[in-house]
Amino acid sequence: MIFSPQVHIVFNCQEKGRITEPLLENSPHKIYYFTAYIKKTKQKDKYLEYMEENIQTIQNRIPAIKIVRKTVDYVDYIEIIQQISKIVKDERAENSNATIYINISSGSKITAIASIEAAKIWGLEHYYVYSDKYNQYDEGPVHTGKFYIERPVTFPTQRPRKDHIQTLKLIESMIQRKYENKILPKSELNGESKFIYFKNLIEKLEFEGIIGLESNNKDSKKRKSALYMKAKDFLDPLEKELHYITISKDKRNRKVRLTHEGENLIKIFRYLD
């Protein structure tokens, strides 16, 4: 392929030109067209007729285009950004040169926030569309007339360190393996959230190459102590600064748990680090 594929992500709403104009001007290879479903209230997308008309308009002008229809919860930030990351992973696996654009002017305010964050984290392009006629209280699309496309400048997002993400995923997988189809003693459960032991995590971190010692100490006790301090220094920011994990204060058999923030971060980076 001479030209890199152009992929667009759009979110359905009460709009026509605000969604179709950028696509007709740029003739992308593929579109991911999201519609809304709000899980908490069980509300379905009220503007499906706009989606059908928009898709028909696009297909009439760009017959070779591939359109993938998807549904996402318009008020669930985690689900939205996770869905975007899945698209990025799949498209870049197919062609690493793919350019991925997101329309941040359609959908909801939460889809816009999540889209901007996703764009900054994974190096995507985002654009905002507005018009010279705004008809908020009229029937039909809100924006009509002449359309303008802006690419707003945003400040960089400080994304989590890759080894931190890998560690959280490692803790999650260790917890899943520990509790999967196993009967554990009440003394270990005691109605508390699921955990793994700190000593087991240290061993796994070293095995996975996330932490390690520069030199092999022949004294096993000294080596164990040095590895413990290395792990503690590495995990301290995850607990005390970022609040992604908690580590119990037990003198023996310290327990490591994922916090709600840590679980959410794993969801965001489920498909891409």
Whether 258 has a pLDDT exceeding 90, the answer reads: yes
Tokens 């899945």 correspond to what residue?
Answer: 86
- Split at pLDDT 50, 70, 90, the class of 2 is very low
User: What would the mean pLDDT of 67-83 be, rounded to a whole number?
Assistant: 97
User: How is the chain split into domains, by residue range?
Assistant: 6-150, 162-268
- Split at pLDDT 50, 70, 90, the class of 50 is very high
Contact 106, 18 (CB under 8 A): yes
What is the amino acid identity at position 101? Y
Which sign, positive or negative, has the C-alpha torsion 61, 1, 69, 265? negative
Task: Give pLDDT, residue 263.
Answer: 96
- For 48-52, 69-73, 132-136, 215-219, which range has the lowest pLDDT when averaged over its residues? 215-219
Between 214 and 172, the more confident residue is 172
Task: Give the pLDDT confidence of 124-138 residue by residue, as tens digits.
Answer: 999 999 999 888 777
Helices 48-61 and 17-26, packing angle to 10 deg: 20
User: What would the mean pLDDT of 186-205 be, rounded to a whole number?
Assistant: 82
Question: What distance in Å separates the CA atoms of residue 115 and residue 85, rounded to the nearest whole number?
Answer: 10
Q: Which CATH number fits domain 162-268: 1.10.10, 1.25.40, 1.10.3680, 3.40.50?
A: 1.10.10
Task: Give pLDDT, residue 179.
Answer: 87
Instruction: Name the helix (H) or strand (E) containing 150.
Output: strand 143-150
Whether 189 has a pLDDT exceeding 60, the answer reads: no
Task: Give pLDDT, residue 1.
Answer: 37
Task: Give pLDDT, residue 273.
Answer: 85
User: What would the mean pLDDT of 135-150 be, rounded to a whole number?
Assistant: 86
Task: Give pLDDT, residue 3.
Answer: 58
User: What would the mean pLDDT of 118-123 be, rounded to a whole number?
Assistant: 94
Helices 260-268 and 77-94, packing angle to 10 deg: 30
- Split at pLDDT 50, 70, 90, the class of 115 is very high
Between 36 and 184, the more confident residue is 36
Burial class (CB in 10 A: 0-12, 13-18, 19+), 235: buried
Tokens read off for 191: 């109605």
Residue of 152, 211, 149 whose CA lies nearest to 22: 149
- Split at pLDDT 50, 70, 90, the class of 170 is very high
Domain range 6-150, CATH class = alpha beta
Q: Which contacts of 243-248 are long-range, i.e. CB under 8 A and separated by 24 or more positions?
A: 244/164, 244/168, 245/168, 245/171, 247/198, 248/195
Mean pLDDT computed over every residue of the chain: 91
Question: What distance in Å separates the CA atoms of residue 262 and residue 247, rounded to the nearest whole number?
Answer: 13
Tokens read off for 160: 């989590």
Task: Give pLDDT, residue 212.
Answer: 87
